[in-house]
Structure 1
């Protein structure tokens, strides 16, 4: 929702159409809820084995699989259809792609390969593109930069989370990188790699004329902080350092998007 709203504002030429923005966020919220419901339906056996998720509606027995499937299907279809009718077909198509790539690729791959995190970052980064196109923005280098920023941001964020809950993921039978990385060295290297790659990519909006100097230097400072927290993970991966990186990542993205909104160049 946050990235879709930011994408809408950045993609709008001139004044923001509040009605279309609300319609976009409503459709995105429906598809996101349907995606989450389908994911929980397909992973109900995994959730039952993990302490963090065993209290969810399906593994706890509060909701039946049939009811969950019906709920997920209805709100997903309604969400995509609503975006197609109220916003535009391209945004609806991006929402459908988000749903399909998450449920049909990312969810099953979590049991098979640690590369699932890379696959899952694709649907995680598509909403900002959908927000951009909903506002009438054209597909091109500017929105591609936004996509890659959100894509790369997710990787240290989720790798840190996976390290914190590595024992739980092991119990669930999920093929996370942290499960087969006892000393955390590989996780630390990957975290630093993605955070370092994010730094120059985060500066592209200014270079592409989407934002101004305030954003550029703010993004530079935020990127250095994110990278610094990642460097600590390469020295020794501890739960405390993973939590610190996770918290930095939570601050980083809203702060970056806020800077974009505040320093958007006049279309």
Structure 2
């Protein structure tokens, strides 16, 4: 009996010592003498650490941080920003599109957008932890540390801005840097201070297509404002619908959204409807300024009437179902609008504007100057009128306005 106990005690001590040796060998594998230890382990017929395990750990770590970077960057939202920037680049390219510059513009925009979204989550970590919709993000869930997230955001932001500066031009890089600052350091804290944050955020969303236009043309012109204006006005009904649907969540997170101070939703629906109507003239302006052909006027008008109808439906019946319908209509509007711009764009838009300017000057030079005498014949009155066009005083047109069924009176001069 005593012999059996001694044998059991010896075997347990042996296996304990054996396991300690294994742990020592594994912990020493990264030291300069790792080869010697591995050789000794082989000579003693002891198992060594498997290289496949280290490779598996590396792959798992890469996937983990890759997923964290993806979520910090809000990759889907960033890709939408890239799409608007790329569309602006194509619209500003004229007849020849530089595909290399387009690629660099999209990459730089993606990096800057990823940086801005990451900084946004760094600043809102406490707010996100209180909201169901955002509580599983990398920072509130503890999957990544704040210094790590700040390092990621800073590196991609600087790299993206530098890329735009070196591969496109300084104007595009300046717009990107300004938008990053506006989003991360103005819009983000403003969300917890005042409902005007929605309008500031709309400005942030309107800058990327202008960035793309500037990257292509190294200039900011009036006809380059069509898509930025569309994005600005589009974001208001889009975010009004989202804020109405998620207002309990926003209230829990401590955000000052416009819908939180509007219990009935009436003012929210009016703001959404008004900004939807503001989108109507953009199709006509795009044609008038030489950005697109005349077909875009019709398509843009029909599209805008559709989102306006959804906003009007929400105005009449302020329910979550109607708000969700308006939100879905806004999701449909933007890609269709940008596709229409690309399909009907005029590659010679600058030449189109120059031709219109020449025609205007030519028509202005064809005006004739006539001399009129007053009743006493003491003073000459000089007036201009188009060639072969009868002159009508303003009162003639004023008299028509209240009575559209009457013919406009005509006036002749001796």
TM-score normalized by structure 2? 0.64
For the residue of structure 2 that corresponds to 1:209, the secondary structure is: coil
Is 1:260 matched up with 2:350?
A: no
Shift of residue 266, structure 1, vs aligned partner: 2.7
Aligned to 1:14: 95
Maintained 8 Å contact 1:12/1:137: no
CA positional deviation for 1:202: 4.1
Distance 1:31 1:137 in 2: 19
The structure 2 residue matched to 1:204, chosen from 260, 285, 303, is 285
Q: What residue ranges of structure 1 are gaps of 5+ in the alignment?
A: none
Distance in 1 of aligned mates of 2:283 and 2:236: 14
Deviations 1:57-94 (A, max 9, x none): 00000011110111101100110011001111000001
Pick one of 105, 128, 135 that aligns with 2:186: 105
Residue 24 (structure 1) aligns with: 105
Paired with 2:160 and 2:283, the residues of 1 have a C-alpha distance of 30
Instruction: Report Cα offsets for 1:122-175 as digits up to 9, x if no partner.
Output: 111100001111111531211123221111111100110011100000000100
Contact map agreement 1:164 1:243 (CA 8 A) in 2 = yes
Q: Gaps (5+ residues) in structure 2?
A: 1-81, 349-414
Contact 1:156 1:191 (8 Å CA) reproduced:
yes
Counterpart pick for 1:242 among 323, 332, 338? 323
Between the aligned partners of 1:131 and 1:205, the Cα distance in structure 2 is 17
Instruction: Find the aligned partners of 1:18 and 1:177 in 2 and give their Cα distance.
Output: 41
1:215: which partner in 2?
296
Distance in 2 between residues matched to 1:140 and 1:146, nearest whole Å: 12
Distance 2:167 2:158 in 1: 14
Runs of 4+ in 1 over 2 A off after TM superposition: none
**1:142 corresponds to which residue?**
223
Contact 1:33–1:75 (8 Å) recurs in 2: yes
Measure the CA separation in 2 of the matches of 1:224 and 1:79: 38
- Counterpart in 2 of 1:64? 145
Q: Which residue of 2 aligns with 1:181?
A: 262
SS at structure 1 position matched to 2:299: helix
Q: How does 1:65-84 map to 2 (within 5 A)?
A: 65-84=146-165
Question: Residues 77-119 of structure 1: CA distance to partner in whole angstroms, max 9, x if unpaired?
Answer: 1100110011110000010111011111100110011110000
* Native 8 Å contact 2:171 2:218 kept in 1: no
Measured in 1, the distance between the counterparts of 2:110 and 2:136 equals 23
Instruction: Please say if 1:122 is aligned against 2:122.
Output: no
Q: How far apart in 2 are the matches of 1:37 and 1:162?
A: 21
Is 1:51 the counterpart of 2:122 in the alignment?
Answer: no
Alignment partners' CA distance in 2, 1:203 and 1:67: 48
Give the CA RMSD over aligned residues.
Answer: 0.9
Using the TM superposition, name which of 136-145 and 106-115 deviates more. 136-145
* Match 1:89 to one of 163, 166, 170: 170
**Among residues 222, 225, 240, which one is paired with 1:159 in the alignment?**
240
In our comparison, the structure showing a higher alpha carbon Rg is: 2
Question: Does the Cα contact within 8 Å between 2:283 and 2:298 map onto a contact in 1?
Answer: no
| Partners of 1:199 and 1:220 within 8 A in 2 | yes
TM-score by structure 1 length?
0.98
In 2: Cα distance, 1:64 partner to 1:266 partner: 48
Larger relative contact order (C-alpha < 8 A, sep ≥ 6)?
1
In terms of mean alpha carbon deviation, does 20-29 or 132-141 score higher? 132-141
CA distance in structure 2 between the aligned counterparts of 1:109 and 1:177, rounded to whole angstroms? 12
Deviation at 1:182, TM superposition (A): 1.2
